[in-house]
Chain A
Amino acid sequence: MPPLLEVKNVSKVFRSGVFKRGDVTVAVDDVSFSISDEQAGITAIAGESGSGKTTLALLMIGQLSPDSGEVTYRGSSLRKMTRDQKAELRREVQPIFQDPYAAYNPFYRVDHVLTTPIRNFKLAKSKDEAEKMVSEALEMVGLSTAETLGRFPHQLSGGQCQRIMVARALLCRPRLIMADEPVSMVDASLRASILAGLQALNRKLGISVLYITHDLTTAYQLCENILIMYAGAMVEAGAVEKVIRFPKHPYTQLLVSSIPLPDTHKHWGVVEADESQLQAGRKTTGCRFAPRCPVAMDMCWNTRPPLYGSEDQRAVACFLFRDSPTLPNPDVAQVFRKQGQE
């Protein structure tokens, strides 16, 4: 059975300037992975701003088309899909965005985003059934109809708005929810409830979740597997316990050591990083992280490191692990931890 969504060696380049002759930004660089329809898991795509994680998500839902490579949905290419298949993809893969307020048209009450999918996807036979669906979806994310319906988005808190978005996604009966930084603009005390809502959808309804974030602590708590991206390329992937607790790639190590933990016993350290060894300005045609890498070798500057299967449930794109075998095919999902697996 083909995976729900698969990206095969996709790249996306943005060009700026008049006649697109200006700066070239490689947003996504030769990335391959897949989301299974049978194993509903929660997977994180993590990286800093500009790492290409949002671009990758937009490529996967067909809001952007790749410059090279292919995106397939249930085995058929996004480029060659029929109208019906496209409509089905729209329904089955539901996005949730970062800014909880920008996701609402200020012209309408919040009811608008909940009734539109029911009307467009013909999900309910009667008005009563539609109302019941809406209230069930709201309950699923911990909201009541009384505190939400009939309001304008600006009358609700960011946390409520974001949870209504999760309810909206749920109404479409999706197979995959693609949540792009869903809690980064929400207060700390409300973040957990939104993430718990996503977790409930995964556990109770078997919906896969792709959690796109820069925050490794929430990724660690929420997800089973994680992909770490740097400058458009995948640098490390695998089971979240391995990648975050014991990072192998120098970039992942830098990222994990920079997390400000709310714990005075786990100190950042007091020394500022010694960057004198780094060749920050040097151009690289090999590993994109080389200019910031403390252990960059000569080969890193002109050869792209492939993904090495350094151990079970982990793939890492770094020449430090060149003794390990490369992955048999580029899809990193093969190293992911499956449900029930230790």
Chain B
Amino acid sequence: MAIAKQKRLRNSRITPSLIIGIVVITLIILVGLLGPLFINPKMARVGAVEPNSPPSATILFGSDSQGRDVFTTIIMAIPPTLRIGIITGLISVLLGLILGLMAGFFPGWPDALIRTFSDVLMAVPALAFMILVVARMKRPNLVLVAIIVGFLTWPGTARSIRSLVLSIRERSYTLVARANGETELGVLFREVMPNLLPLMIASFIGAVTMGIYTVMALEVLGLGSNVIPTLGMMIFWSTRFAAVLRGMWWWWSPPIVVLALIFLGLFFLSRGLDRYISPAIPTTWSRRRPRGVSPKSEPATPAEKAPSAVSDGTAVLQVKNLQVIYETPAGIVRAVDDVSFSLQAGERMGVIGESGCGKTTLATALMRLSRPPAYITGGQILLEGRDLLSISEEDLRDLRLKEIALIPQASMNSLNPVMRIGPQVKDGLKAHMGKLSNQELDARVAESLERVGLRPEVANRYPHQLSGGMRQRVAMAIANALAPKVIIADEPTSALDVVIQKQVMLTLKRLQEEEGASVLLIGHDMGLIAQFADRIGVLYAGKLVEAGSVQEVLDNPLHPYTRLLIDSLPTLEGKHDLVGIAGLPPELLHLPSGCAFYPRCPFADEHCKGEAPVLQVPIDHRQVSCHLYPEHTALPPTPAKANILQA
């Protein structure tokens, strides 16, 4: 399976863009190289054939009003046009590369000098400048024009290369290369240069286009050379002799079609090569809805199947059979799969899961904030009995923040950097209590800030003037400003140091206790959840595999995954061997059959491989999704010689 997957990924580097680009450009170059061998150049001279003839068997593309054969002229015009493009491209990219590398590697005066010079050059309007230059020439020399255009366009390339070099030098792979014994030149040629390749190709193609375009523009304006036929000159002649007015489409259209083909071919080539060279760039996500899945289709399992062990009358938030999918080019990913749980009034619940298990997808879906390619495809989210998934967008806006609020991941970085704190807190208040006067609103802002342990003066500060912990408190103040019944906190402290993390979490706890709100804390840190929450849900591969009180789950886990996870956590209780969980976290796109955990599970048997377990209640107040139950009432000791099934 792994090999097949690898093959597919490798093949996917060759995109339709690349094929179209290569075919078109190769054809044009072949015609340019070989075409002149098959034609008679005399046919391109004035008066070579009958003027004004439409296309016919003898005069293939017809002729212009001067008696030139259009077919012959086109074939002869392609090589000089391409030559101009290539000269511009080469000069621009070579200059850009050398100067960009110098600026990136020598940050002192060479960098300042090159940047100042390129700033000045970039301010020069290329076309206007070229018109001045060409108008002063006795005989227009297109090669010279191409060279000058090359000199004018390098600053763009140089700047991109400089910033890329600066960012690559920061990456740890250059440090790794040095540790691997590479010299500075080795780092430049083997680590930095390959990563510049996509940019250089894009720049080259851009400069080629620019060169052809500038020369063509000059020619169309009448500043071309009458001696060499180029595509631009053909357009110039056809407009000069009013080919469009005279209905001589065979005269004006071929050069335009060929130029369009060159530009399109270059565009596709650039796109395709980019994807080919950088295998890590994902292909564009499809926005197309898959057939058979509507945003509100039936839940995969009937709602009755949801265990109702804890769904008594006091639940503020009840999630039933929630399903969220992602549409990816490679298929549909079930990121949240049939998840059911409920949150009691005033309860703190933690949801733990590893990266990619659907944690954040769940948090976003609970606010009904999922955006394509994520879709909520089934289930119910009942906030005090009202289904958030079936009410109107307007009603929902009214509920958000007032009834249910989200402290998003890295929320301390979600503040607007150019706005003071006060207005940002006020924004949410205004939307819901617009009737209040400005003073009243300000008082509310001050109050919200004080509740999270910040001084009211913080309202006048900008985010960058606050520490990470303070910004995190501001995000909490915003979420809590309207005293919502449910607060969803998605890894609220993941970027904070441990001391600050404790303070922020204790503040959140105090707030929650004062207001009687319910908090759903989503995270990957078992310790944090153990310290904060009363109840815990364990998420694995998009499914809730275990739920119960934090103490019971920690002391007595029911699901094998939960036990192995707890055992792998380092503690301060004496030293013991570090044991991780065998195998790899599942990829949601390639889930194993049956139970998603069976390839890593020491208890797994053929049953687990064949059939996915459902959430059940083997003991009071505990839920688990595992085939060991209801046969057992507790998780048996882990088999010493675990016979892990192969996927």
Contact = CB atoms under 8 A, between A and B. Distances in A.
Interface in B570-584: 570-572, 575-581, 584
A272 interface: yes
Given A104-B173, A192-B580, A262 B585 contact: no
B510 interface: yes
B502 interface: yes
A192 B578 contact: yes
Interface centre among B172, B191, B354 (most CB of A within 10 A): B172
Given A105-B173, A255-B498, A272 B510 contact: yes
* Interface residues of B, dominant DSSP: helix
A73 B379 CA distance: 63
Contacts of A299: none
A18 B576 CA distance: 52
Interface string A275-293: 0000000000000000000
Interface centre among B277, B499, B550 (most CB of A within 10 A): B499
Interface string B121-158: 00000000000000000000000000000000000000
Contacts, number: 203
Interface centre among B181, B501, B509, B528 (most CB of A within 10 A): B181
A116 interface: yes
Contacts of B569: 188, 217, 262
Contact of A190 (B181, B453, B525, B585): B585
Given A152-B279, A267-B531, A254 B499 contact: yes
Contact of A165 (B2, B176, B580): B176
B575 A220 contact: yes
Interface centre among A90, A160, A271 (most CB of B within 10 A): A90
A209 B555 CA distance: 34
Contact of B497 (A103, A214, A221, A222): A214
Nearest to A261: B527
A194 B579 CA distance: 10
B194 interface: yes
Contacts of B584: 157, 159-160, 190
Interface in A247-282: 254-255, 257-264, 267-268, 270-273
A151 interface: yes
A187 B569 CA distance: 11
A268 B9 CA distance: 47
Interface stretch (A22-30, A93-101, A325-333): A93-101
A188 B279 contact: no
A158 B550 CA distance: 28
B630 to A, nearest CB: 26
Given A192-B579, A260-B528, A106 B181 contact: no
B578 A258 contact: no
A102 B585 contact: no
Contacts of B181: 87, 90-91, 116-117, 120-121, 172
Interface in B57-75: none
A272 B571 contact: no
Contacts of B498: 48, 214-216, 255, 258-260
A177 to B, nearest CB: 10
B179 to A, nearest CB: 5
A154 B568 contact: no
Contacts of A187: 354-355, 524, 585
Interface residues of B, number: 68
Given A172-B179, A258-B502, A102 B572 contact: no
Interface in B550-571: 550-551, 554-555, 564-566, 568-571
A262 B566 contact: yes
A150 B9 CA distance: 12
Nearest to B525: A260
B280 interface: yes
A157 B566 CA distance: 21
A199 B578 contact: yes
Interface in B170-196: 171-173, 175-182, 186, 190-191, 194-195
A243 to B, nearest CB: 12
B180 A268 contact: no
B354 A195 contact: no
Contact of A196 (B191, B532, B579): B579
Contacts of A268: 502, 505-506, 531
A337 interface: no
Contacts of A95: 175-176, 179
A113 interface: yes
A147 B173 contact: no
Given A90-B179, A120-B180, A221-B570, A270 B580 contact: no
A193 interface: yes
A192 B570 CA distance: 8
A189 B278 contact: no
B580 A191 contact: yes
B355 A107 contact: no
Interface centre among A90, A94, A187, A254 (most CB of B within 10 A): A187
A245 B572 contact: yes
A267 B572 CA distance: 13
Interface string B570-613: 11100111111100110000000000000000000000000000
A82 interface: no
Nearest to A178: B179
28 contacts: A90-B181, A98-B172, A103-B172, A105-B177, A106-B195, A107-B195, A120-B181, A151-B6, A152-B9, A157-B585, A187-B585, A189-B564, A192-B568, A193-B580, A216-B498, A216-B572, A217-B572, A221-B576, A255-B498, A255-B499, A259-B498, A260-B498, A260-B505, A260-B530, A261-B530, A262-B566, A264-B551, A273-B506
Given A105-B191, A188-B565, A263-B571, 17 more contacts: A87-B181, A90-B179, A102-B172, A102-B173, A103-B176, A105-B173, A107-B277, A117-B179, A168-B176, A169-B179, A187-B524, A192-B581, A195-B578, A221-B571, A258-B499, A258-B502, A262-B529
Interface of A: 48-49, 61, 63, 87, 90-91, 94-95, 97-99, 102-108, 113, 116-117, 120-121, 147, 150-155, 157-160, 165, 168-169, 172, 187-196, 199, 214-218, 220-222, 244-245, 254-255, 257-264, 267-268, 270-273
